[in-house]
Amino acid sequence: MSANLQHRRMEDILEQLWRRSRFTSYFYQSVHLSAEMSIPTIALTVVQSRLTLYYNPEFIDGLNDEEIIGLLVHEMMHVMMNHDHRAPGEQDAVLRNRAQDMVVNHFIRTHEKTFFSKKGQYQWDIPGLIIPEELPDIPRQYFDETCDDDPAWEDVYVWLRDRQNSETININGTTEKSSGAPSGISVSIKSDEFNSDSTAENENRDDAPNRSDNTQDFSGILFQDDRENPLPTGMHLFQKSNMQHKIHAKRTQVIRFAEKDYDCLEERVYQDIQGIIKKTEPVDIEDWKRRIKSIVDMTSQSTEWYYSHGRFNRRYFASGIYSPGRVFEEKQVITVAVDVSASMVMKPEEIEEAFGVIEDLTGKYRVNLVCVDEDLFVPEKDGDQFVKSGRTDQPYYYKPGDWKYIRSGNSGTTFFEPLFNSYMKGHREMLLVITDGYVYDLERLSKYSQTLWVISGHRPEPFVQPFGRMVTIRTSMA
């Protein structure tokens, strides 16, 4: 099909979207479409502050209109769900991107009969939404084990990493094969040069698509079947850190434009997406504090024996001796581990905010404090600062205002292995970890489910906890 006919077909599909969903149509009115042979399927990215959808004409020719509409919705939902296709060093890039695809595909399949519906519309009047059956969905086992019927991609990522192996893609672009990617699915990293020969060959054809930006980087993750054929889904191009801010701005712009259209407000997809956006927005300052208190209240009890006169010792009572008896009590204890590396302590306002929440808990809980930099240590006061006590067998009991004595260690390197693999052995209480998330041994930590990661709000990229839960610190300066 010639480039002109291909462009006309895409315009016809966008016209169908206008009739079915004003909101989806508004989104793609802000997206530049560009034919590109170097992309095996399609890919949505930012080019010069503009959302751009690259599509391979040969791939599009092999799909019918309904399948293309499903793919367009799939790519839009990545933006609406605030998915960031990057690969931080402490994460498995394949599982990260796979989890994001699973969440999008699950949403589409769950809403396939109602996605294009409006209030008062009968089901038989609603066109269905189609995506290929071979695209991955959230495993049924996830819902059975977690009872979480509305997971974020981070939840699915942690669950997958705990249960299956995959190819691990390093930052330098090499691929390490572990015990195997999920059955039937393989992945590959594509770089800007992987299809350069075919691009150059096509430039001499009359109907050859023009590359809109010769400097555009097409490095990313491509999902393939077991024969190394691309799956009919979008390629995840790696995004630079500033791209996510631009994508977020475009999403906000589309929402504001749609709010002025009454027909759009009646659409179920608009209402669902509003709920998704509210869920993925950063929590306000007070909300993250309430979340910490709520999580601690639910999970912070440990078991201890103590002696009380309220329960006498029956062994001596018959002899007329009233002696206190042994009582088993669930005494409320929490351990707080604070990252004292230079990168964390240079943000004292966040440490103050985090310990402000902890001090609200000291009336109800006993707080044991430990510090972590290149090693773990129990602090002790020395003048106006904490120093290493040289012991780990006796805890330091935190008292209001003690956060002011926290000083930086000697480097920006933080290792949490001594905390999780040694110190917390045999413990059962709630563990709060206050850190900026730059943990160099994250993959080597022993699992401690009762962990709440309290992460710096200044961190530019997302942090995915290896286990437990996570809350992000929000201050008026964040």
Q: What are phi and psi of 275, to 5 degrees?
A: -65, -40
157 contacts 99 by C-beta, under 8 angstroms: yes
Give yes or no: residues 380 and 247 share one domain: no
Residue 375 maps to a domain: yes
Mean pLDDT computed over 102-113 = 92
Does 408 map to a domain?
A: yes
Q: Among 161-165, 192-196, 225-229, 388-392, which stretch is predicted with the lowest mean pLDDT?
A: 192-196
pLDDT digits (tens, 9 = 90+) for 109-133: 998 888 888 876 666 667 889 888 8
The answer on 291 and 268 residing in a single domain is no
Q: What is the model's pLDDT at position 338?
A: 93
Tens of pLDDT, residues 163-197: 765 444 333 333 333 333 344 444 555 544 333 33
Please report whether residue 257 resides in a domain: yes
- Per-residue burial over 236-246, b if 16 or more Cβ lie within 10 Å, else e, is bbbbeeebbeb
One domain, residues 345 and 267? no
Q: Are residues 43 and 146 in the same domain?
A: yes
Nearest alpha-carbon partner for 43 in 203, 243, 233, 216 = 233
- Which of 155-159, 305-309, 447-451 reaches the highest mean pLDDT? 447-451
pLDDT at 198: 35
Residues 297 and 270 grouped into a single domain: no
Asked if 329 contacts 359 with a C-beta cutoff of 8 angstroms, the reply is: no
Contact 392, 425 (CB under 8 A): no
The length of the chain in residues reads 478
Q: How many domains does the chain have?
A: 2
Check whether residue 209 and residue 71 sit in a common domain: yes
- Quick: pLDDT tens for 252-296: 888 888 888 888 888 888 888 877 776 655 545 456 777 787 777
* 382 exposure class (CB count in 10 Å sphere: 0-12, 13-18, 19+): exposed
> Exposure of 160 by Cβ count < 10 A (0-12 exposed, 13-18 middle, 19+ buried)?
buried
* 319 assigned to some structural domain: no
Tell me if 263 is assigned to some domain: yes
| AA identity, residue 263 | D
- Lowest-confidence pick of 65-69, 137-141, 456-460: 456-460
Per-residue model confidence (pLDDT) at position 422: 93
| Same-domain status, 151 and 106 | yes
Please report how many Cα atoms fall inside a 13 Å half-sphere around the Cα of residue 18, on the Cβ side: 7
Strands (DSSP E) found in 364-462: 366-372, 376-377, 379-382, 385-388, 396-397, 430-435, 451-455
Q: Do 263 and 293 fall into the same domain?
A: no
358 and 367 Cβ atoms separated by less than 8 Å? yes
pLDDT more than 70, % of the chain? 73
C-alpha closest to that of 140 among 148, 132, 130: 148
User: What is the separation of C-alpha 60 from the centre of its chain, rounded to a whole number of angstroms?
Assistant: 31
Is 263 in the same domain as 348?
Answer: no
Is residue 309 domain-resident?
no
Domain extent for 418 = 285-304+331-472
